[in-house]
Amino acid sequence: MHIAILSDIHANREAFIACLAATETAGADRLVILGDIVGYGADPVWCLDKARELLATGAVVLRGNHDEAVAKSTQSMNLNARLAVEWTRNQLSAEDRVFLGHLPMQVAEEDRLYVHASANAPEAWHYMLDADDAHGHFLHCDAAVSFCGHTHQPALFSASPAGKITTFTPDAAEPIPLAPQRQWLAVMGSVGQPRDGNPASAWALYDTGSRELRFHRTAYDIEAAAAKVRKAGLPEALAERLYGGR
């Protein structure tokens, strides 16, 4: 089975559409969305409706910290994020906010774990940025392969049976075999707001049979997405950052 894993859509309709088309072209049999459907972007209603539709047809859909903030509170976010959360909350219905607030934070499936941030206290929204962060995740995770988002930067970590953590830089050109004698944590990057210097949307395709993981980048209409952010009156920085993937 080929599983397409997407994360951090952030109400970017153009990016979401482009990635869904790319997953279909790649032959995905299953979709997983690791959370943060809303926040930052100008199309929260459309993106939420699409996520709800995908959930109804068998996709896994998780809750991210921005989904949580829209549903319940703004948490400890920076000013632009708080402004976007407040704007988003006003665009959504009470039913939409309840839906977001009741999405699971993590889902275990066979030998895989899906989580927005990390297995160690998912509700604390820890960032998986380096080997020390990954070590904390592995200490609380028995799954052979885990998938998370949240950082907006693709990454791959593995743990040996002795607990040694190895960090890999993902290459979108080649599939990566995930050796069964190690544990793996794949960080997806972001569909709607990449922050690794590449403005193209990030997602991945995992083959459960061969245990190969391929990171993908998909171009989308950034001009259209940025124009919507500006028209909505959201902070200019949320439009500008799309162009540079930062």
Residue 207's H or E segment, with its range, is strand 201-207
Q: For residue 180, what are the CA distances in angstroms to 5, 52, 68, 131?
A: 20, 34, 34, 19
Q: Where are the domains of the chain?
A: 2-244
Structure tokens at 20: 């869904």
Q: Which uninterrupted H or E stretch holds 159?
A: strand 155-159
CB-CB contact of 131 with 138 (8 Å): no
β-pairing verdict for 201-207 and 212-218: antiparallel
Which of residues 74 and 207 earns the better pLDDT score? 207
pLDDT, one tens digit per residue, over 78-121 is 889 999 999 999 999 999 999 999 999 999 999 999 999 999 98
Contact present, 94 and 136 (Cβ < 8 Å): no
CA distance 89 to 133: 31
pTM above 0.85, yes or no: yes
Integer distance in angstroms from the first to the last C-alpha of the chain? Answer: 33
CATH of domain 2-244: 3.60.21.10
Q: Running DSSP on this structure, what letter comes out for residue 181?
A: T
Q: What is the pLDDT of residues 29-70, one digit of tens each?
A: 999 999 999 999 999 999 999 999 999 999 999 999 999 999
